[in-house]
Amino acid sequence: MVEPILSVEKLDVSFSTFEGLAHVLSKVTFKINHKEVFALVGETGCGKTVTALSIIKLLPRNSYVQGRIIFNGRNILELKESDMVEVRGKSMAMILQDPSSSLNPMFKVGEQLCDAITSNDPNIKEPKRYALELLSKVGFKDTERVFNSYPNELSGGMQQRVAISISLTGKPTLLIADEPTTALDVLTQAQIIQLLKQVRDTYSTSVLLITHNLGLVATLCDRVGIMYFGQVVEIGPTYDLFYNTKHPYTKGLLQSLPYNKLKNQTLPTIPGDLPSPLSPPSGCRFYPRCPRSNESCSKDVPEILPITDKHYVACFNPLSGDE
Amino acid sequence: MASFKTYLIKRIILALVVIYFVITITFILSHVVPSDPAELYVGPKATAEQREKAIKELGLNQPIYIQYLRYFQNLVNGDLGKSLRAHTPVLHDILTYLPATLEIVVLANIVALIVGVAFGSYSALKKDMLADHLIRIVSVGGVSIPSFWFALITQLVFFGILGIFPLDSRLSSDIQLFNPIHTITGFYTIDALITGNIVALVDSVRHIILPAFVLATYPIGLVTRMVRSMMVEVLNENYIRFAKANGFKDNLIYYKYALKNALTPALMALGLSFAYSITGAFLVEVIFSWPGLGTYTVNAILENDYPAILGVTIFGTIFYVFINLFLDILQAYLDPRVRLQ
Ligand SMILES: Nc1ncnc2c1ncn2[C@@H]1O[C@H](COP(=O)(O)OP(=O)(O)OP(=O)(O)O)[C@@H](O)[C@H]1O
Ligand SMILES: [Mg+2]
């Protein structure tokens, strides 16, 4: 079997806060293969951004990390900061949720792009030419004008495309996209998705796509991981996950999608609230809200195990195929 | 871009309005303050005739609105009136004393900019570590130490105990006699340098170090604190995280991308402290017998020399207003968000 490009193994992250230690991630496990778009889906606050920042090693100082993150055969968590500088931008890059704050407002787009180019590949002789080339790759026609613009002169969608062009300067093998379309309108979202597809195809980049937009997942992603409250509860190929759902939480999530409203009139929601990461429930973190929970759910943490060849679930009572 | 032009025009009009009001207030003051300008002008032993003559000369016999208009007319012609003590034109006095003040104030603020930016950004990068705590103690000290006390302490230490710097004045008297500086700009150090007067250059530098250092303590503290807090804020911005995540060189991130964002407010604060020091440096000037505008003002106040006091006030106001205007333009130049809004 081919080695995956990224393998996250039993990643635990906690933060020391004024109220105590917040256990934000618990045994997060998944992998991403070459040229694959992998989606990480979950509610607000479940730890998607924290997972992304752990991978690129930019968590704030008040964090404690355990587990392993193997990227290109090396454990990221054991790398020194000076080695990590050689990883970021070169073999792994990241775009953020809010494009309007991703670019420095004080500098022209072209200057930021050229600085990224010279930082990531000092051998490039004509950074400006490469910059214009990248700008046209991400879909700009009037590249010279964009090059000479300040970020504030561009729309959100244009800013996100500039951000993507910056992340491509070092031709990364893994691109982390943390909710790249959340702040954009529907039409622009479609453009950005199209662009990400194109990036995957032309650069053979693997993409970790963080989102709560399941429509985006269906159009773009090969495989999906569902996160609930700091745990990955189900992983599988996109089709299986939608049509052969195994985890009760995934099912609740799919049922609460707005398009189901047409059929059901009222939108089903998952009962209960998110627990606090300061005192997470023992055992499965979903059991207090789970319709299928039994005694063992509160005692032991279910490990994420294969149910079929490619479909993994962390549940003691997974749904069977016909439910 | 057009809106920036209107913004600029608005700012200039506002500046002129401020100047107009200050001038009017000084005019009113000069007429309600209970003293007799003519009497002061001719002195206590003058005859009634001489007084009459002075009243005519000063225009005090004219209706008040004529006096007001003439006051403006004179100002526009650069006439700030005559000093009551020396009977010299006030503007001439100000321009004579100004270079001495500008010399230490400019030097102090350049030092403050360099030291403040270095301390402030280093402190921010080492947030909550030992270096940060030390720098913060120093900067709080800088803004809170009374300058006259600190001036006396530096004299005690560097002149009294160590004997490495002179006590006061701009130049030693023997240098003044045997190697006098040919005045071009009024800045002794620069004049000595251009005229190749090395002996005087060394001497004037030795004299300027202590007062400039004392004057710099406040703006050093100010700029350090400003740059540190802005930089800490900027380093938490999304665009810094984005730049790090995408492999920008650390030096670029800290000393280009973060510093430029943190620098603008520090420059603004420094500009205001600079403008303030033009007349506000008098404590330091008096202690170091520095013949600057501050010293001139203090003497004018002590001797009830109203034209001189009012002249300095007007001059200081115009200076302050124009520095402010300049800072606004500078900020717009540095920050595209202001320029393009
Ligand atoms: N520096 C920190 N200190 C303490 N707690 C933190 C810190 N950063 C994140 N958290 C907590 O970790 C949890 C997960 O946050 P995260 O930002 O990863 O959520 P998310 O899944 O990305 O949500 P969203 O969809 O809103 O972006 C939240 O409860 C948050 O409060
Ligand atoms: Mg997030």
Position A105 scores a pLDDT of 92
> Taking all residues of chain B, what is their mean pLDDT, rounded to a whole number?
87
Cβ–Cβ under 8 Å, residues B227 and B116: yes
Nearest CA in chain A to B332: A106
Closest CA to A42 of A242, A260, A234: A234
Ligand 1 atom nearest the C-alpha of A212 is 25
- Rounded (10°) CA dihedral A147, A150, A151, A152: -140
Q: Rounded to whole angstroms, how far apart are CA atoms B111 and A145?
A: 40
Assess contact for B311 and B81: CB atoms under 8 A.
Answer: yes
User: Do residues B268 and B331 make contact, with C-beta atoms less than 8 angstroms apart?
Assistant: yes
CA distance A93 to chain B (A): 5
Indicate yes or no: CB of B238 within 8 angstroms of CB of A98. Answer: yes
The C-alpha angle A94, A100, A103, rounded to 5 degrees, equals 60
Contact A15 CB / ligand 1 (< 6 Å) = yes
Q: Tell me, what amino acid is at A193?
A: I
Contact B141, B247 (CB under 8 A): no
DSSP state of B183: P
Which two three-digit tokens encode residue B63?
Answer: 């209706």
For residue A96, the chain B residues in CB contact (below 8 A) are 238, 241-242, 245
**Cβ within 8 Å, pair A152-B250:** no
How does pLDDT run across A102-128, given as a tens digit for each residue? 999 999 999 999 999 999 988 888 999
Continuous H helices in chain A: 48-56, 81-87, 99-102, 109-120, 127-137, 143-147, 156-167, 186-203, 214-220, 238-243, 248-255, 261-264, 295-299
Closest CA to A230 of A61, A22, A5, A17: A22
**Biggest distance spanned by C-alpha atoms of chain B:** 86
- Per residue in B290-326, is it b (16+ CB within 10 Å) or e — as a string? bbbbbbbbeebeeeebbbbbbbbbbbbbbbbbebbbe
Q: Identify the pLDDT of residue A266.
A: 57
Structural domains in chain B plus CATH codes:
94-303 (1.10.3720)
Q: What is the pLDDT of residue A14?
A: 94
Judged on CB neighbours under 10 Å (0-12, 13-18, 19+), B163 is exposed
Q: What is the pLDDT of residue A276?
A: 78
Nearest chain A alpha carbon to B334: A106
Q: What is the pLDDT of residue A191?
A: 84
- What is residue B175's predicted lDDT score, i.e. its pLDDT? 83
Supply the ipTM of this predicted assembly.
0.90
Q: Is the dihedral of CA B166, B168, B173, B175 positive or negative?
A: positive
- Choose, out of B236, B246, B330, the residue to mutate when testing the contact with A (most A CBs < 10 Å): B246
Give pLDDT, residue B135. Answer: 95
The CB of A22 under 6 Å from ligand 1? The reply is yes
Q: Is the pTM of this model over 0.90?
A: no
Report the alpha-carbon distance of residue B341 to residue B333 in Å, rounded.
12
Contacts of B335 in chain A (CB under 8 A): 105-106
Which residues, including other chains, have CB under 8 Å from residue B30's CB and lie 6 or more apart? B37, B306, B307, B310
Kind and range of the H or E element at B64?
A: helix B64-76
Higher pLDDT, A273 or B49: B49
Q: What pLDDT shows up at residue B7?
A: 80
Residues 6+ apart with CB under 8 A from B112: B216, B219, B220, B222, B223, B270, B273
Q: Which of A90, A150, A163 sits opposite B242 (nearest CB)?
A: A163
Looking at the CA of residue A53, tell me the nearest atom of ligand 1: 18
Give per-residue pLDDT as tens, B195-205: 888 888 999 99
Measure B1 CA to nearest chain A CA, in Å.
12
Backbone angles phi, psi at A100, to 5 degrees: -70, -20
Nearest CA to ligand 1 atom 17: A49
Name the residue of A24, A101, A232 to mutate for ligand 1: max ligand atoms within 8 A of Cβ: A24
* Residues listed for chain B: 341
Percent residues over pLDDT 90 in chain B: 43
Residue B64 scores a pLDDT above 90 = no
Collapsed DSSP state (helix, strand, coil) of residue B187: coil
Q: How far is B266 from chain A (nearest CA, A)?
A: 16
For B338, the closest chain A residue by CA position comes to: A106
Atom of ligand 1 nearest to the CA of A59: 1
| B252 to A107: CB separation less than 8 angstroms, yes or no | no
Provide the residue type at B167 as one letter. L
Distance separating alpha carbons of residues B278 and B256, to the nearest angstrom: 32
Residues of chain A with C-beta less than 8 angstroms from the C-beta of B263: none
Cα–Cα distance, B198 to B222 (Å, whole number): 35
How confident is the model over B142-158, as pLDDT tens digits?
Answer: 999 998 999 999 999 99
Phi-psi region of B224 (alpha: psi -120 to 50; beta: other; left: phi over 0): alpha
Say which ligand is closest to the CA of A211. 1
> Which among A50, A98, A210 is the best mutation to test ligand 1's pocket, defined by most ligand atoms within 8 Å of the CB?
A50
Rounded to 5°, the CA angle B111-B114-B117 comes to 135
Query: Which parts of chain A have pLDDT scores under 50?
Result: 261
Cα(A178) to ligand 2 centroid in Å equals 7
Q: Which of B70-79, B100-109, B137-146 has the lowest mean pLDDT?
A: B70-79
Distance CA B273, CA B267 (A): 10
- A170 touching chain B per CB within 8 A: yes
10 Å CB burial of residue A291 (0-12, 13-18, 19+) is exposed
pLDDT in tens, B81-131: 888 778 889 999 999 999 999 999 999 999 999 999 999 999 999 999 999
Per-residue burial over A236-273, b = 16 or more CB atoms within 10 Å of its CB, e = otherwise = bbbebbeebbbbbbbbbbbeeeeeeeeeeeeeeebeee
Res B168: pLDDT: 86
Examine the pLDDT at B222 and tell me if it is beyond 70: yes
C-alpha dihedral, B25 to B28 to B29 to B32, nearest 10°: -160
